[in-house]
Amino acid sequence: MLKSSNSKKYIILGLLIVIASIISLYQIFLKDESLLVFEGTIISMDTSGETATLLVDGRRLNQPENGGADTIISYLIDADTRVIADNAESNLDTLAVGNLVKIEGPDVLRTSYPAQADADRVILLREVSTDILIEGELMEISESASDGFTILVRGSVTGYGDSSEVYVRVPENAYQSHGPDQLFSEGSSVRILIDGPLAESYPMQGTASSIIQIEEN
């Protein structure tokens, strides 16, 4: 009788271990599925309120099949967001436009233009992004076409100096801060992230992933 009782105890203990293992594995996989890992270049920052926002142009590093089309995300940074730089805890002052960052947070995107998400961790990867960022004056706007329009910009270009000129094609699917149907005016200040390399012609030529207008102070 005692032997039978002990056998039942071992069976119950074994079942509990199996159930606990299944729950642990489920939680691990559930956590991975609910985590959004995004890497990109900061193209705009707003630190004027109690919380801050980072506008990041980049790509999803995990689960590209789910929402992989979102290349621009506006991240909310609050008091609980951790900022990591040089493998150490840091703060928002470490971050700047043009940084390459990796951001981790809940895989919940609020439907807006652009999409919005919360940031749990912001990791500074490089102070100067590997992407080409242009910041300058919009000199000329060509007639718009069904697939976008072309502009001439003069200003600072990553890796090319502060007085460079670039013809930038802005395709229909490129992010524009005022909406895809509103063109910018000549003479306005703009910031552009280039999708891919620049053709080193004169002026240089490239395609925009995103373009935003820099508000005058």
**204 confidence band (pLDDT: 50, 70, 90):** very high
Identify the three-state secondary structure at position 49: coil
Domain positions in the chain: 1-33, 35-126, 133-213
pLDDT of 47-68, one tens digit each? 887 789 999 999 998 865 544 4
Report CA-CA distances (Å) from 203 to 163, 186, 189. Answer: 11, 17, 18
Q: What is the pLDDT of residue 70?
A: 63
**184 confidence band (pLDDT: 50, 70, 90):** confident
Identify the three-state secondary structure at position 122: strand
As a whole number, mean pLDDT of residues 80-88 equals 95
Q: What is the CATH number of domain 133-213?
A: 2.40.50.140
> Is the fold of 35-126 the same as that of 133-213?
yes
Q: What is the pLDDT of residue 182?
A: 60
pLDDT of 139-170, one tens digit each? 999 877 778 899 999 999 999 989 999 999 99
Please state the CATH superfamily assignment of the domain spanning residues 35-126 in this structure. Nucleic acid-binding proteins (2.40.50.140)
Predicted model pTM: 0.80
Half-sphere exposure in the Cβ direction for 97 (13 Å, CA): 15
